[in-house]
Structure formats: structure tokens, C-alpha cells
Amino acid sequence: MRKKILVIHGPNLNLLGEREPEFYGKTSLESINKKMSDIAEKNNIVLEIYQTNYEGEIVEIIHKKRTWADLIVINPAAYTHTSIAVRDALLAVKIPVIEVHLSNIYSRESFRHKSMISDIALGVISGFGEESYFMALDAAKKIIFT
């Protein structure tokens, strides 16, 4: 059976490339997703990628994929800092999680220093732009195949 990774992008990440490029880079989400899909294919991993601007939809995606995914890579974007609902959904499904951020959330405003997800994640990759996602996939690969 091929291993499966669920990737979830939270709110405003659909505007990557045009949104605050000094923090989030000039690459579009489509391009990041394409590169992730290529990495997954090369490693014989099945990837499903979702982006939503709605907190409840993140919860529903996690629920729907709870028997499908071997690992979740999530950039909850602004919901990182606020969402007990996303945290609880991740706790409920007990799927290993890697938290990703394009920017270094610890070098920005103090309200971004708090994450509702970090302490329940396997690890956090923050601050490497689009590379954060590719590093997360690399880590995910090592975790799901060992």
C-alpha cells in the first residue's frame, strides 16, 4: 500500500505570490503544490492537497481523511495562533502532524509566537519560505517509511 500524506493550507495562502511577498515569497501556491506533488511522486507517496479560508473546513478535511492519511502536513496560517478547533481535530484523529510556516513566526509580532499546534506536532518547520514545505515532506518521508 502506498503511503499517504494530507497537506492542508489555511487562510490567505491562496494569495501566495501576491500577498506580503517580503514574508511569504513570490511563489504561487499552485507552484508550491506542483513541486510537492513532484517530490511525492518521486518517492511513491500519494499526496492530497487542500487550501481553505474557513476554520471549520480545516476541521472537516481532517475528519474526512482520518482513516486515509498516514501523516498530515499543515500550515494553519492565522488559525495557528487561535484555533482550539483545529488543535482538537488533530488530537481527535491521532495522525502524526508536521506544522509548517513560510515565515519565521518567532521573528515577527508577539501574537504569532504562540501556536495552538506546535506542542502536539511531531515538529515545526518555520522560516524557510517555500522550502519549509519541501523540508516537511522530506521529514515526513523519513517518518512514514521507518
The residues assigned a catalytic role are: 24, 101
DSSP of the chain, one letter per residue? ---EEEEEE-TTGGGTTTS-HHHH-S--HHHHHHHHHHHHHHTT-EEEEEE-S-HHHHHHHHHHTTTT-SEEEEE-GGGGGT-HHHHHHHHHHT--EEEEESS-GGGS-GGGS--SSGGGSSEEEESSTTHHHHHHHHHHHHHHT-
Helix 131-144 × helix 29-42 angle, to 10°: 30
Residue 103 found at the interface with ligand DQA (CB under 6 A)? yes
Closer residue to ligand DQA (CB): 40 or 105: 105
Closer residue to ligand DQA (CB): 16 or 70: 16
Q: Compute the least distance from the CB of residue 14 to ligand DQA, in Å.
A: 11
Which one of 36, 52, 70, 101 is in contact with ligand DQA (CB under 6 A)? Answer: 101
Binding mask 53-82 for ligand DQA (x = CB under 6 A): ----------------------x-xx-x--
Residues 2-21 that bind ligand DQA (CB under 6 A): 12
Residue 86 found at the interface with ligand DQA (CB under 6 A)? no
Residue 112 found at the interface with ligand DQA (CB under 6 A)? yes
Whole-angstrom distance, CA of residue 29 vs CA of residue 133: 11
Closer residue to ligand DQA (CB): 95 or 105: 105
Give residues in contact with ligand DQA (CB under 6 A): 12, 75, 77-78, 80, 101-103, 105, 112
